[in-house]
Structure 1
């Protein structure tokens, strides 16, 4: 049976009664007697203690309860007030116990002191470990820095050796300081299209210019201010001067050759650009 509310405001209904329909007008005394209606039992307190308690679901489950909605509300309000009273009494009782807790605690000072001393000792050990770890970290950092310096020095040494080898090879190919050029190499450097023109072949001059620019790049990587590079600067400059002299002579010869020397002349201009010697190229062309 669903929850019922008063049907008519002109006829008040008892908060604990229902109006049940009768089959005849003669049955009046028994139907109007509220003592004949079933009185609802009190709501179990355990119903509200469920972890999954849901108010809407719980109210829906009370559809068969013989009680008006207003009585149900009043019952819930009474129960809420009773719970609030119990909670207040519980808080007051525990609060009194809490206030007396400090006076009831006695002894234990020695145990507390032992724990404090142990914690202080543990703290000192941690500080010592942290100090050793920090020292070890700084030591490793210093070793890494030294290792980086050693690696840079090794790389610099390798570039110095390469610079020396390339410079020596370039001097040999330029026949500086009485060095002799291998005859087979000279023949391989000759170009078929400019064999009739006086001077070195464009292929040979391009290879010499490329070797020179590689030497210049190595000197820049090592550092122009290092004593080793300063010591080799004169030799490097002499190689450049020799290449430009040979290039100038060949340029003049190619220009004099006329149409047959135009292709070689273009190759020689590219070699001037490789050596970053545009001014020398203009002088060579004007002086031809």
Structure 2
């Protein structure tokens, strides 16, 4: 940095003349040059400024306008700093490379350990596969048992329905007098007479026809038909019982015909309507019309 100042001379001189030394001319000594070395120089750029997370070169250079330093000096300073960083980076890479080589040397002879780890992992994998197979087998077994349980439940429901069908047929056969044993024939007739005497006379109908008993038997037959529909008309057990069911229906229609003729003769209008309604519930309206016409 130059700090020399030139003051004009008070007397004019020719270009060829030698300027005279006067008391007004500046005289420089060695002390003046020593004073120039004592001037303040810009401090070194802090390294921490370049490590900021939001560092921006243009913004950072704009903050250096008060350093009293020429642009060329600033370039030289940054160039030296770049060279220093490159040297530090190279030293760092060389140090890490030496450590990497020493690590490879330390790993020599570790093949047995790696092989032991690999064998252990393979054994663990086989154990997991075995456990998965056992779990799959248990799952299939549980599924099979649940299906069997559902089948047993369906079989139980079906068995109860079949027992209900058989019991209903038996009750109707007993009530209609279809199944009468050899030794119980007289007792069965007496029981029937007692029922007719005590329970079949319906007050308001004005007749002694067994209207109440026939109504109960008609409802039992309808319940039997519904039970057969739930089981399925083509079930082997139902197919085997068709003759019994047909005999029950035929006997019930005969009893209804007998009762209808009786109430027709007695001119019991309410009783006639009640018997005709039973025919309708059984789907035998034509039979009731035929009986009424025949009874004329």
TM-score scaled by structure 1?
0.59
Look up the match of 1:209. 218
Note the 1:19-58 alignment, pairs <5 A: none
**Residue 183 of structure 1: how far off its partner (Å):** 3.7
Residue 228 of structure 1 is aligned with which of 234, 237, 259?
A: 237
Look up the match of 2:163. 161
| Aligned length, in residue pairs | 221
C-alpha distance 174-285 of structure 1, shift in aligned 2 (>3 A):
same
C-alpha distance 75-116 of structure 1, shift in aligned 2 (>3 A):
farther
**Residue 236 of structure 1: how far off its partner (Å):** 1.0
Note the 1:99-248 alignment, pairs <5 A: 105=104, 106-107=107-108, 108-178=110-180, 180=188, 181-186=191-196, 187-196=198-207, 199-201=209-211, 203-248=212-257
**Residue 167 of structure 1: how far off its partner (Å):** 1.5
C-alpha distance 72-114 of structure 1, shift in aligned 2 (>3 A):
closer
**Residue 234 of structure 1: how far off its partner (Å):** 0.9
**Residue 174 of structure 1: how far off its partner (Å):** 0.9
Q: Is 1:280 equivalent to 2:287 in the alignment?
A: yes
Look up the match of 1:64. none
**Residue 242 of structure 1: how far off its partner (Å):** 1.3
Note the 1:2-81 alignment, pairs <5 A: 74-75=62-63
Report the secondary structure of 2:283's partner residue: coil
Partners of 2:229 and 2:278 in 1: CA distance: 21
Is the contact between residue 201 and residue 207 of structure 2 (CA under 8 Å) also seen in structure 1?
A: no
C-alpha distance 167-47 of structure 1, shift in aligned 2 (>3 A):
same
Partners of 1:272 and 1:182 in 2: CA distance: 22
Partners of 1:257 and 1:102 in 2: CA distance: 126
- Cα RMSD between the aligned structures? 4.3
Look up the match of 1:271. 278
**Residue 128 of structure 1: how far off its partner (Å):** 0.8
Q: Which runs of 5 or more residues in structure 1 are unaligned?
A: 1-40, 50-54, 56-69
Residues 127-185 of structure 1: per-residue CA shift (max 9 Å, x gap): 11111121222222222222332333333332332222221111111122446244443
Is the contact between residue 160 and residue 222 of structure 1 (CA under 8 Å) also seen in structure 2?
A: yes
Partners of 1:194 and 1:243 in 2: CA distance: 20
Partners of 1:217 and 1:282 in 2: CA distance: 26
C-alpha distance 191-104 of structure 1, shift in aligned 2 (>3 A):
same
C-alpha distance 269-75 of structure 1, shift in aligned 2 (>3 A):
farther
Q: Which runs of 5 or more residues in structure 2 are unaligned?
A: 1-44, 65-77
Partners of 1:223 and 1:95 in 2: CA distance: 92
Partners of 2:61 and 2:281 in 1: CA distance: 102
**Residue 189 of structure 1: how far off its partner (Å):** 2.6
Is the contact between residue 207 and residue 266 of structure 2 (CA under 8 Å) also seen in structure 1?
A: no
Partners of 1:94 and 1:189 in 2: CA distance: 117
C-alpha distance 46-204 of structure 1, shift in aligned 2 (>3 A):
farther
